[in-house]
Structure 1
């Protein structure tokens, strides 16, 4: 699927098909990662020591912040490369990819130097103590130094997506998941390394993912050039301008989850258990929704770079159309399977009632989360990444806490779930309105004559039909 120097693949062809292919291929890689994470915990739990699972949980909480930085840099790489590719400027695309990769590697080397000397303090802030804290420390000393590998692979995968290579972007995640799955039982049980074996398996998976991602990007698109300090310095501002808001926006998500979990805790262990099950179902069943922002971003970026605002506009609505079809289909499936799913988790009483509520009408609320992801992709790729940060923080604070508290007071634990969904609907509407304003902005600018706008496109179609 290699592209020629003449331009990006998303500036022509059926946009709904582009959205569908990019979303499904991106979700396969995500689903593989989530599945391996779940299997990882299962293997660790089989060792029969509760503190091991707790240690893995504490370590994951600290690793999230390093991952958030890498996610932000990958969003920046994808946006900058896709925009340059849409402008048919392969030189800029290559330099942006190289500069962002260098920044990711440098950041990935610096963060462990910053965190490792203070692991005791950081883990204590999370509530870790005793054997669990000691085990988490050993786990992190193995994994954190390879943060640069994770950052490099994320950037390389984002670059592959920016060139429109949906399948190529999927393969590194599948390889990493496969390596982790093979080495986990060998190192944990056969070699007897326990939790540290799981850490080594993750390091091997990161190495395999990075090697394949970079190899594909270079072999197919010559996507990276020899790093030059002056280019990295020049591109740092552009990359940071997208990455920093994306990092801040990513950090907002666990805050919203914490708010909902805290409100659920008021209604007993059954309510918290139901919330934990829902939080495990969502990433697997709705992985396509979670992948949508990264998948649709290059489509926005290439067409924006090409000045095709008519296709940017169409991409936004095709993204929502695809999202609606997927969410309705999966929600119907969850509704049909709600009893077996509840039985699988031995859910009874309030826990079963809450699962039935989510697996019924409230699963449709994933549409609103997806709509926010589509809007955020437009902000990140059309030059307004700060809007993405604002929308995410608003959604996970004032779009969560007042709603879950108010509806919880009226309807108990079920109200907490309903309030979370209603808050999402409100901020999805706000995000969609703001995204349309951003998309239409160049078309309102009389100096931006190089853009093809929706009304201009419709006039061309009308003239052709008359002829």
Structure 2
């Protein structure tokens, strides 16, 4: 069986960054397009209670998806390092172990959230009819969480191998399913929120099927693990996965804080913030994809001991981040009114969308800098540094900023609180990450391990 090549150790690092990030962004955007389309078609029923309910439910599911992203990061780091060292057979075994552990952990998490979904939604601020609709939505969609972790892990390992297009198509196919089925089930068949949840389940199933096929059949990157593999790879997997999951959980926690602060200003404000949340993930897919996209590039070059290429990839990712954010920010500002009108938002909800599109969206250049530094920390032996950076933003700064600025400037102040936290932490993380990459300690450690 042919050994997969470490393709990121040669050629232009900027080209690798652009190709992997844009394909990753397109794939990630299509994955979140499922939620965006569900919200859009439900909004056509012209009931802000339904929009608010899906916003609350999506905030809860974002916690579970973030755990999946953390486990995905661990898989990318371990597989890409092994490929960089020329250990293709080891990379195959690690890929299989990562899939098994990740699916098992996500299944347990889905069960816990399902059992306590009503209580969790109440803590988040949902009440009355909004609460009941959100509970029903989660009852249908939560059992599909193990599917999304399998699809995401398969996509990320394909990216670590260097197959950008198939990695992208895993999630594109899921989004394409939603494009066809959402209007059919939600509007034509009149299933409403229930139809939106059913489409999410079908979409995640398709992601899993095509992802595992391309990973196992096309690339032969799955091998039946021996019993000792499950034990031998557990420690290195958890050494990255646990801090990576802790890092990723900070983002949904920050979102939970924001939506809890927004809930103080009524259902219309929550509906507006729900649109902003989907718009953020869809529009800034390139920023969210950065960490996973350059993780394989940094991992392969670190495994090969190529210190200058690691630093080059880091710098190129920051440049890409600045350009991408500038273009997206401009487009959002131009189309802000059209976006608010498309979702039928009230004046309060429209105000939230405009505050984000005109002002807060620009702060994503610093969010991107944070994600780039996280990729360096996770792949160069300092995953706890990424955890500290994210929780500084979402756990320490976000809460006091959101509630204090919300009390002074209303719901729009909550939106700007997120921008302020992004800016402060993003600058600090970028500086620390650059100094660490230039020092080359993580790369040197990998080189000694290889020797």
Give the structure 1 partner of residue 197 of structure 2: 199
Equivalent position to 1:290, from 278, 288, 291: 288
In the alignment, the residues of structure 2 paired with residue 382 and residue 129 of structure 1 have an alpha-carbon distance, to the nearest angstrom, of: 45
Partner Cα separation in structure 1 for residue 136 and residue 119 of structure 2: 14
Classify the secondary structure of the residue corresponding to 2:295: helix
**Structure 2 counterparts to residues 341-356 of structure 1, below 5 A:** none
For the Cα contact (< 8 Å) 2:269–2:348, is it kept in 1?
Answer: yes
**What is the aligned partner in structure 1 of residue 210 from structure 2?**
212
- Please say if residues 72 and 243 of structure 1, whose CA atoms lie closer than 8 Å, have aligned partners that are also in contact: yes
Instruction: After TM superposition, list the pairs within 5 Å mapping 1:115-154 onto structure 2.
Output: 115-126=113-124, 136-154=134-152
C-alpha contact (below 8 Å) 2:34/2:200 kept by paired residues: no
Pick aligned residue for 1:225 from 205, 209, 223 = 223
Identify the residue that residue 177 of structure 1 maps to in structure 2. 175
| Correspondence for 2:376 | 378
Please state whether the residue corresponding to 1:310 is helix, strand or coil. helix
Q: Which has the higher contact order (CA 8 A, sep 6+)?
A: 2
Distance 1:265 1:219, change over 3 A: closer
Q: CA deviation at 1:325?
A: 1.7
2:233 match: secondary structure: helix
Q: Deviations over 1:21-53 (max 9, x none)?
A: 111111112222333312212333455776655
My pick for the range that moved more, 204-213 or 262-271, is 262-271
State the match for 2:39 in structure 1.
41
- List aligned pairs for 1:10-409, cutoff 5 A: 10-46=8-44, 53=51, 55-126=53-124, 136-188=134-186, 193-260=191-258, 275=273, 277-337=275-335, 358-360=356-358, 362-401=360-399
SS in 2 for 1:222: coil
CA distance in 1, matches of 2:442, 2:150: 39
Structure number with larger C-alpha Rg = 1
- The worse-fitting range, judged by mean Cα deviation, of 400-409 and 179-188 is 400-409
Give the C-alpha shift of residue 137 in structure 1.
4.6
| SS of match in other structure, 1:88 | coil
CA positional deviation for 1:139? 4.0
CA distance in 2, matches of 1:415, 1:128: 21
- Asked if structure 2 preserves the Cα contact closer than 8 Å seen for 1:372 and 1:432, the reply is yes
69-78 or 57-66, larger mean C-alpha shift = 57-66
Measured after TM superposition, the shift of residue 8 of structure 1 is 0.8
Long gaps (5+) in structure 1: 452-467
Q: What count of residue pairs does the alignment treat as equivalent?
A: 450
Using the TM superposition, name which of 424-433 and 373-382 deviates more: 424-433
User: Cα distance, 1:390 vs. partner?
Assistant: 0.6
Contact kept in structure 2, 1:399 and 1:426, CA below 8 Å: no
Deviates more, 1:427-436 or 1:60-69: 60-69
Shift of 1:183: 3.1
**CA displacement at 1:410 relative to structure 2:** 8.3
Provide the rounded CA distance (Å) in 2 between the counterparts of 1:361 and 1:50. 25
Sort the Cα spacing of 1:173 and 1:91 in 2 relative to 1 into closer, same or farther, 3 A.
same
Structure 2 equivalent of residue 9 of structure 1: 7
Relative distance call for 1:127 and 1:394 in structure 2 (3 A) is closer
How far apart, in 1, do the equivalents of 2:163 and 2:362 lie? 30
Rate the CA distance shift 1:69–1:334 in 2: closer, same or farther, 3 A.
closer
Shift of 1:214: 0.9
Normalised by the length of structure 2, the TM-score is: 0.85
Relative to structure 2, which stretch is displaced further, 109-118 or 312-321? 109-118
**Contact 2:84/2:302 (8 A) holds in 1:** yes
**Secondary structure, aligned partner of 1:400:** helix
Give 1:421's aligned residue.
419
Cα RMSD of the aligned pairs, angstroms, is 3.6
CA distance in structure 2 between the partners assigned to 1:372 and 1:134 by the alignment: 37
Unaligned stretches of 5+ residues in structure 2: none
State the shift of 1:443 in Å.
4.8
CA distances 1:427-451 after superposition (whole Å, capped 9, x unpaired): 1222122213432444599888769
**Is the partner of 2:223 in helix, strand or coil?**
coil
**What TM-score comes out, normalization by structure 1 length?**
0.82
Quote the Cα distance in structure 2 between the aligned partners of 1:344 and 1:44.
12
